[in-house]
Amino acid sequence: MGKPDDGPIGIVAALVRSSFLVNAVYAKSAREYGLTPQQGQLLCVLMARPHGMSELGAMLSLAKSSLTGLVDRTERNGLVRREPDPQDTRAVWVALTAQGSKVAGEFYTETCRRIEELPGSLNPAERDTLAALLGRVVLDNEVPAIFLEPDEGGSAARER
C-alpha cells in the first residue's frame, strides 16, 4: 500500500474515501444535534413529506426490525410521530413533529454547509464537473433521494 500522498488515486479509492469523508462530516454533524447518523438520514428523508414504513425501509436500506427500532428511538425523542395510513388501516406513515422539523432543518442546513466546504480547493468549473459526474453515478444507480439539494431542503420541509 502506498502513502496517502503518493499522487493521484483511482476511481475506486476516490469514491470509497470520499464516502468516508462525507460520512464523517454527516456523523459529526449528527452528534452535535444529539442524533445518530441514521436518525439524521431519517429526518432528512422526512423533510420532503411523510413516508410509509416500507418505503422508508427501501430508501434507507434497512430491514423491518431495524427500521422499527430507528423510528421508535426517534419517536421517543419527540422528533417523529406515527400516523395512520388513510388508505390502509394496517399501515402507518412516519412524519416529522414540529420539534423534528426544526431539528431536521437545522441539522440539514449545517450538514450542507460542511459538505459544501469539502471541495473547497476546486474552482467553480471543477465543482460543476464533479457535481455532474457524481450526479450521473447516483442517477445511473437509482440512489433514493435521501438528501435533497440545499435549495430544496428548507422549502420542502413541512409538518403534515
Q: In this predicted model, what pLDDT tens digit does every residue of 63-72 receive, in sequence order?
A: 999 999 999 9
What is the pTM for the complete model shown? 0.81
Q: What is residue 3's predicted lDDT score, i.e. its pLDDT?
A: 55
Question: What is the spatial distance between Cα 74 and Cα 101, in angstroms, rounded to a whole number?
Answer: 12
pLDDT of residue 142: 82
> What's the pLDDT at 151?
64
Positions in the chain whose pLDDT score sits under 70: 1-6, 148, 150-160
CATH 3.40.309.10 holds for 11-156 = no
pLDDT reported for residue 154: 44
Identify the pLDDT of residue 5.
Answer: 63
- Here the contacts of 142-150 (C-beta below 8 Å, separation 24 or greater) are 144/58, 144/59, 145/48, 146/41, 146/44, 146/45, 146/59, 146/60, 147/41, 147/44, 147/108, 148/44, 148/47, 148/48, 148/108, 150/109, 150/112, 150/116
Domain spans, the chain:
11-156
pLDDT attached to residue 158:
35
